[in-house]
Structure 1
Amino acid sequence: MSRKLNMAGISLAALMTALPQVAVAQQAPQEQEIVVTAQRRSERLIDVPASITAISAETLTKSGINNTADLAKAVPGIAMTFYGGFLQPAVRGITSTGANLGENSNVAMYVDGVYQPQQIATLIDLPDIQQVEVLKGPQGALYGQNATGGAILVTSMAPSFTPHGNFSASYGAYNDVSVRGYVTAPLSDTIAASLSGGYQNRDGFRRHVITNQRDKGLDSKVIRGKLLFQPSTEAKITLTGYYSDREDSATYAGFAINGNSIGYAPNLAGIGLPSIPIPASPQIRNPSQFATDPNVFTRIRSAGGNARGEFDVGAGIVTSVTSYSENKTNYRNDGDYSAVDIGTATANFLRSHYFIQDMNFASRKFGSVSFLVGGFYLNGAESFDNNNFDLLFPSVPPAPTTILFTASSQNARVDKEIIAGYGEATLQATDRIVLTAGGRYTREKQRAFSDRAIFTPGGTAVKVPNQVEYPGGAVVFSKFTPRITARYEITPRSNVYASWGQGFKSGIVNSTDFTIAPVKPETINAYEIGYKGVPIPGVRFNIAAFLYDYKNLQSVVYVPGSAYITQNAATARIKGVDFDVSWSVTPSFTLTGSGSFLDGKYRNFPGAVNYTPTGTGHVVSTIDLSGQRMLRSPKFSGNISANYEIDTGIGRFAAFGSIFHTASYGMEPTGRLRQNPYTTIDAEISLSPDALNGARFVLWGKNLTNKAYLASALIAGGFSDGGSYADPRTYGIRAEFRF
């Protein structure tokens, strides 16, 4: 690791030495300032003492980033993979491992300043987004619990008193139809409105290995309306309402990795059942095929509204965000991941509803001091109406399925109440030195209810007539998470900084087994030093080195027919370097690049669950993973992109291309299931004709080399090693219009 970091440092030093000569020769223009809200106020990116990647709407479109799962293409140091149908972001090796009821991602997601508590709801389509900010490192001081890895801040387009809008329509491979739009206009001198949304529908990417039918494909709809009331320059209130409905089969239309599945056994005796014969079925040899039940899918429906008020009270800005949201998810997953229907997991429905109030006051500067103080309140619940694992009489599609018996059924609920107070103070110690100290105290109360409250020693669920509460009653998790930073201004557009901070991921009550004590919160201590700025005209460069001490990692064991069980399992240490650079070579040509070198290892992880594949399932044992690399933590990942634009006799021509590469990484804690190194290439060329003002026509392509790599991996203990591939090569045409 040290040798690679040294080589990276030498390469970066050489790059920085060479850039001034080339940039001066080309007389590149000054970069426009990037403004972010990472510290809950609008600031220049270079002035924020933290590692942040800000992605504009234009970059999202050019890079082919359609939803949050695509963000890894443009952000160094993150991986976006699925655990079954649950998106689990990993930022610098910090990631979740399961999806128990009430369990949150440890990378916090915010949309228009509103926290998204439910883990499955972190998969968000991005048809009307103004900017995405990815904050790397624990954000416990300002963004609270469940931000140990970082936070992703999504900002959608806002209403304006200047009428304008944009529309796009695209058609691509697999009958991919996509329409997006945004329009805004004033309704009066003090009221403006906007309406935005998107629709996408496409066929499935893969064909069933027996029936040759495609998987169900994607059908996604998003609509968002906003109303801005601005009675004066000192006050504005924005009301937002939204609805989304996303049904996709891609993450569950999969196969048994390395052919390991009960579906390839001669009979069901291996899982303790009578020797019922299993029909022969082919294994997947081609990434264009899938083996699971053709009817697998995940459907996520979300609706909600929020009111955001911003008031200039002279001494500073008061911001209040009040929101209510509801999510309803159902899914069907083939637990054996073979072409034989043997076990099916369904949820009808996984629900959540949350009320959130967040208010803060950001002061103006009083002499050399400014401060921010705020409070946060959340109240809501997640519930399974019916969470079943059915064992089926073995059959091969298109034959109908017959349920032998329901091996597991659960109706459960987790209630949550969170109260937090946060603040920070900033001191301009000298003309060039800025010191900041802050923190957040969080108290989270959980109450868990289940109709499957205990297990017998053999693992059989004991049902109770109605939901019962966890015998200990309400469980409380609390933590103070501080952060201290120091920033030194080298020039008005260049800074170095150092920071120390803490974060924690909240604890969990295992609603599937109340005999297990509540899982303790994860905690992290983080140290970071970095440089960010514009060292020479036309070049923007950011680099950060970090060290994390990580304790009480939560790990999940999945047993079909039994339960998801979450336990505290390990301590870890993570260290690394990530960087990004943007170079305006000429007014027409821009190069950008980013990379992350990561060394994340378990320091102490004895007794980790180990699923040894048998070819027809697993033998379960324990293993000591101390000293092994953490899951979803590639040694290197990075991207390079180029953008060229030039005016011609018929209009403005543009070409964009990007290359993303990652080293291999484990898809589960032991690293047995691994994603091999891979590289993808995305590109587009466009023309904005002079004869059609505001129009742009685009030819686009994604994953142009048709690289097959895993999007999802799931160990269905005893049944299979299941996985699904990411999107294959896609391409198409798009027409855009702005006014």
Structure 2
Amino acid sequence: MKMFQLKPLGFAVAVQSILLAVPAGQALAQTDEKPRRTSRALEEVVVTAQKREENANDVPISIQAFSPDQLEALGVQNTTDLMKVTPGLDMGTQAGDFTSVFMRGIGSEAWLTSDPSVATYIDGVYYPFAPSVAQNLKGTERVEVLKGPQGTLFGRNAVGGAINVILKKPDFEDTWTELSVATTKAEDRDTYEVGMFVNVPLTDTIAINFAGAFNQDDKVYSDDSTIAGKPVPADKLFSGRAMLRWQPNEWLDQRVTIQGAKRDGTSTLASNIDPTPLGTAVGVDGERGRNYEVHPDLPIYGHLQSFVISSQTEMYFDKLDVKFLASHQAHSNPYNYDYDGTEFPGASFIVHRHEADIDEAEIQLLSNEGTPFSDWLTLTAGAFYFKKEQGFDPVELTVGGADLTNLDGALGNPGGLLGDLVDTLSPVLSDVLSGVKTPVYALSNVGMVEGESWSVFMQATAQVTEWMAVTLGGRYQDEYVGVAESRTSARVLNGDEVLLFDWKQARDENNEPYPLGDRTKAFTPKVSFDFTPFEDGTLIYASYQEAIKAHAYNAFAFYLNPAYVPAEETTAYEVGIKTTLFDDTVQVNLAAFRYELQNLQSQSISLTNGGALSLDSAGNSESDGWEFDIKADIFPSIFGNLVGTINGTFLDAVYTEYIDGAGHDPETGVFTQNNDFTGNRVTRTPEFSGSASLSNTWFVPGGPLEATVSYYYNDGFFYAATNDPRFSQPKYDLWGAHLSYLLEDSNLRVTLSGQNLKDEFYTAGMLKLDFGALASLGARRTIGLKVDYEF
């Protein structure tokens, strides 16, 4: 058969170098382009997963890449929707805008003062601030999901993988505008969105584009829900971006981008769907929560703001291509949180300032066709610098609006489990506040962490034979992370503050004294082999790589000194194959992998453990699995344009050593220390997740008519290392469909869509608290109408 014929001599894989040897925007013009498919679901996507433009099917790593048309056809509106089309990916939101990302059993719930374990990049800018990870995808060129550690090229904290969003560049040829208006209707919920993208060439060498969106969301909760006795207001999100491009000649391409976003609403609103015994004691009704009805006594609010300015300079020299990136980020996320989520005046957190200031710079050196030995050697090298300050300044804790110096008396000496909690807190607070003589109504904590990191990296791919290539890579990282400030004050009756603690020393995982700052230094190597022995272009690869996530500090605790958590290390093994079958009508990607992790960083929250957040180390864990991704033209000679996709990940991710773990007891709900979670499943990792879609395009008068049916299945996972069923997401599935008609003469597209057509109940995220499982609920059945117009 043709697919098993060995390639003749003369084959070379230096296409990457040739692509970057021409000016930006012209790289693909010199390649052999296949005819454009009629279905948007099967468009081929060029990626930069190795810092170079390549076809996704030619990259020897597990990657899924999507064009804007593909994302729209599959119902993906923002980055958090990617999990519905990407097997092995879980993206959840909780406590408002905080996003937790897990990929193939690697991730982190330590998102308050630590960085994610799956890195997110927006046009080359690394976004470590969890509330800003979820992004609107207006004006996007493509989205790449890189699976497995990306420690060499993407580096900092990409121990689980990376999400790489590439934006559209300004174009010098034409002026055009894209407008979109969308509305969706669900049970007790309406959403509205207006989007815009404009491209304007100013001269032959200068162009600018703009992207903007406004979204209003009436929330997923029922009309009966209230906040402090009043109706739940809608969330409103404004986002905008401007990119200016200057290309004076064929060897220089300069871009400057300014983007910002602002969200006002009640993003921290959550539903207690499974109370602990303590939650039941104070009257939490889990069934009411599962019916999308919430009644917190606190006037909930959330005001996320984000501003990012970045520049990219690309220079194409005879023997080398150079790219330089620099950026500054300023994020702010003030909010409050009702700890019990009920009408009961229990504990609440008021975050007056939660912010992050981040500076980055990176230089990349890329070989091209003029580089010596470019006929068999491809080189990528560079250096990366990162600096941040992030945290709370301040956050306040109140308990029932009561005098914390006399909690028993203020709450009327409650009995039962609530009394047990008060009995636990009262001695601690009495000791903490022993020097304060007036009533104390809040504890105020300032917890700021700082970090500075630099790294250098290099990756070389050598074409050893006509059909085999070897890649060697490595990255050296030196990162400082420390506590910039950690202090606690008491707010007394007249509004003054009395300083209680100004911590000058941290504590390690054994509660022993530890410095307030430390360094993580590491060299992480990569070795991979890829084989293309058959004439049909089948790619077979095997890789070994390491990655590291720097140590962390929790500076956010009211009556405990800051906690140090050691660095998180990942060792990964992977084999895979990418091939086409049946005369290129079926694309098949298969991969098997094993990840070994040390010191998986974890997070828990309890009033009895520092009054707020605690970080600890999960010791060791292993993640073994395999996955498939298949796209096919289904019997094109019969159906013409019928396209199917199916993918899935089978995953066995367990804690192989997790002693001295902290969490809520599955029986009593009481927060306890020194638990042994060895053998439990890793949080947010279902044993199987996958998706499928079926799409057809008909050519009717006026233009193409497209219909798509999509399906997502998740067999369930735990939110807590305790593997407590109370803090879990049972198996669920989501059906979606859309019908889209494009009037080609007028460039007008009308789309009717439906999501979660079975009206399945599921959670989008969850906090494990003393009073129960406070969940962010997934969207109910929605029917939407969208109009896109380009002129």
TM range (shorter): 0.7 to 0.9
1:378 aligns with 2:386: yes
Secondary structure of 1:70's aligned partner: helix
* CA distance in structure 1 between the aligned counterparts of 2:484 and 2:306, rounded to whole angstroms: 24
2:676 aligns with 624
Q: 2:288 aligns with which of 267, 272, 284?
A: 284
- How do 1:414-563 and structure 2 match up within 5 A? 414-452=449-487, 463-464=499-500, 472=515, 474-489=517-532, 490-491=534-535, 493-512=537-556, 515=561, 518-535=564-581, 536-560=583-607, 562-563=611-612
> For residues 281 and 545 of structure 1, do their structure 2 counterparts lie closer, same or farther at Cα, with a shift above 3 Å needed?
closer
One-letter code of the match for 1:541?
V
State the match for 1:701 in structure 2.
754
2:740 is aligned with 1:686:
yes
Q: Deviations over 1:584-640 (max 9, x none)?
A: 22342211111000011111112222412567x525354322122111111110000
SS at 2:120 equivalent = strand
Q: 1:245 & 1:713 partners in 2: Cα distance? A: 24
Helix, strand or coil for the counterpart of 1:359?
strand
How many equivalent residue pairs?
685
Q: Is the 8 A contact 2:274 2:772 kept in 1?
A: no
571-580 or 581-590, which moves further after superposition?
581-590
SS of 1:409's equivalent in the other structure is strand
Please report how far the alpha carbon of residue 522 of structure 1 lies from its aligned counterpart in structure 2 after TM superposition: 0.7
Q: Does the C-alpha gap of structure 1 residues 502 and 352 become closer, same or farther in structure 2, counting only changes over 3 Å?
A: same
Q: Distance in 2 between matches of 1:221 and 1:550?
A: 39
Aligned to 2:23: none
Q: Are residue 207 (structure 1) and residue 222 (structure 2) matched?
A: yes
Return 404-413 or 215-224, whichever deviates more.
404-413
* Counterpart Cα distance in 2 of 1:660 and 1:206: 23
Q: Name the SS for the 2:309 alignment partner.
A: strand
Structure 1's 264 and 524: CA in aligned 2 closer, same or farther, altered over 3 A?
A: same
Partners of 1:30 and 1:538 within 8 A in 2: no
Range with greater deviation from structure 2 (338-347 or 41-50) = 338-347
CA distance in 2: counterparts of 1:303 and 1:578, whole angstroms: 37
What do the CA deviations read for 1:646-681 (whole angstroms, capped 9, x no partner)? 111343211112100010110111221111110101
**CA offsets, 1:405-446, max 9 Å, x none?**
545321122121111101111100011111110011111112
The residue correspondences of 1:47-62 to structure 2 (distance < 5 A) are 47-62=58-73
Instruction: Note the alpha carbon deviations across 1:66-104, whole angstroms, 9 max, x for none.
Output: 222211111011111234332101100111122342x00
Return the match for 2:132 from 121, 141, 146.
Answer: 121
Give the CA deviation at 1:201.
0.7
Match of 1:172 in 2: 184
Q: Does 1:343 align with 2:347?
A: yes
Asked if 1:195 is matched to 2:210, the reply is: yes
Confirm or deny: 8 A CA contact 1:244 1:301 kept in the other structure: yes
Partner of 2:434 in structure 1? none
Q: Summarize the Cα distance change of 1:429–1:701 in structure 2 as closer, same or farther, 3 Å threshold.
A: same
Shift in Å at residue 393 of structure 1? 4.3
Q: Is it true that 1:42 corresponds to 2:46 in the alignment?
A: no
TM-aligned CA deviation for residue 683 of structure 1 = 1.3
Q: Which amino acid aligns with 2:92?
A: T
CA–CA distance in structure 2, aligned partners of residues 29 and 327 of structure 1? 35
Write the mapping of 1:663-674 to structure 2, written as runs, cut at 5 A.
Answer: 663-672=715-724, 673-674=727-728
Q: Which secondary structure state, in structure 2, belongs to the residue aligned with residue 415 of structure 1?
A: strand
What's the offset of the Cα at 1:450?
2.9
Q: Which residue of 1 aligns with 2:644?
A: 591
Structure 1 residues 699 and 118: CA distance shift in structure 2, 3 A: same
Q: Is contact 1:483-1:502 (8 Å) kept?
A: yes
Q: 1:344 to 1:261 in 2, by over 3 A?
A: farther
Give the conservation status (yes or no) of the 8 Å contact 1:412–1:467: no
Shift of 1:712: 1.7
Describe how 1:363-374 pairs up with structure 2 within 5 A. Answer: 363-365=367-369, 366-374=374-382
CA distance in 2, matches of 1:435, 1:240: 37
Identity of aligned residues (%): 27
Equivalent in the alignment of 2:427: none
Instruction: Give the aligned partner of residue 302 of structure 1.
Output: 306
Amino acid across the alignment from 1:228: R
What secondary structure does 1:308 align onto?
strand
Deviation at 1:343, TM superposition (A): 1.4
Alpha-carbon contact 1:506-1:522 (below 8 Å) kept: yes
How big is the shift at 1:512?
3.7
Pick closer, same or farther for the CA change 1:580–1:642 going to 2, 3 Å: same
Please give the alpha-carbon distance, in whole angstroms, between the structure 2 residues aligned to 1:108 and 1:248: 27
The answer as to 2:456 corresponding to 1:412 is no
Q: Work out which of the residue numbers 339, 347, 352 in structure 1 matches 2:356.
A: 352
If the length of structure 1 is used for normalisation, what is the TM-score?
Answer: 0.87
Q: Secondary structure at the match of 2:52?
A: coil
Gaps of 5+ in 1: 1-25, 267-278, 395-401, 456-460
What is the CA deviation profile of residues 137-195 of structure 1, one whole-angstrom value per residue up to 9, with x for unaligned ones?
01111111211110000112221112233211012213311111111121001111101
Structure-1 residue corresponding to 2:245: 228
Report the 3-state secondary structure (helix = DSSP H, G, I; strand = E; otherwise coil) of the residue aligned with 1:290: coil
Point out the structure with the larger strand share.
1
What residue identity is the alignment partner of 2:192?
V
Q: How far, CA to CA, are the matches of 1:538 and 1:357 in structure 2?
A: 43
1:73 alignment partner in structure 2: 84
Note closer, same or farther for the CA distance 1:492–1:28 as it changes in structure 2 (3 Å cut).
Answer: farther
- Check 1:656–1:363 CA distance in 2 against 1; reply closer, same or farther (3 A cut): same
Q: How does 1:629-668 map to 2 (within 5 A)?
A: 629-668=681-720
- In structure 2, relative to structure 1, the CA distance for the partners of 1:469 and 1:208 (3 Å cut) is farther
Matched-pair contact (CA < 8 Å) for 1:345–1:390: yes
Report the Cα distance in structure 1 between the residues aligned to 2:75 and 2:617, rounded to whole angstroms. 38
Choose from 566, 590, 594 the match for 2:615: 566
Deviation at 1:296, TM superposition (A): 2.6
Structure 1 letter corresponding to 2:537: R
| Preserved contact between residue 147 and residue 162 of structure 2 (Cα < 8 Å) | yes
Unmatched segments (≥5 aa) in structure 2: 1-36, 403-409, 412-438, 491-496, 507-513
Q: Secondary structure of the equivalent of 2:776? A: strand
d(CA) in 2 for partners of 1:222, 1:34: 26
Distance, in Å, in 1 between the alignment partners of 2:673 and 2:356 is: 35
- 1:234-288 Cα offsets, whole Å, 9 max, x none, are 21001101111124535x332223233645426xxxxxxxxxxxx8978516433
Residues 542 and 579, structure 1, Cα contact 8 Å, conserved in 2: yes
CA 1:39–1:29 in 2, change beyond 3 Å: closer, same or farther? closer
Amino acid at match of 1:135: L
Q: Measured at CA, do residues 589 and 263 of structure 1 come closer, stay the same or move farther in structure 2, by a change above 3 Å?
A: same
Structure 2 residue identity aligned to 1:238: R
CA deviation profile, 1:13-32 (whole Å, cap 9, x unmatched) = xxxxxxxxxxxxx9999975
Distance 1:603 1:343 in 2: 35
The question of whether the paired residues in 2 share the 8 Å contact of 1:597 and 1:636 is answered with yes
| Cα 1:68/1:249, change in 2 over 3 Å | farther
What is the TM-score normalised by the length of structure 2?
0.82
> Taking structure 1 as reference, are residues 280 and 316 closer, same or farther at Cα in structure 2, changes over 3 Å only?
closer
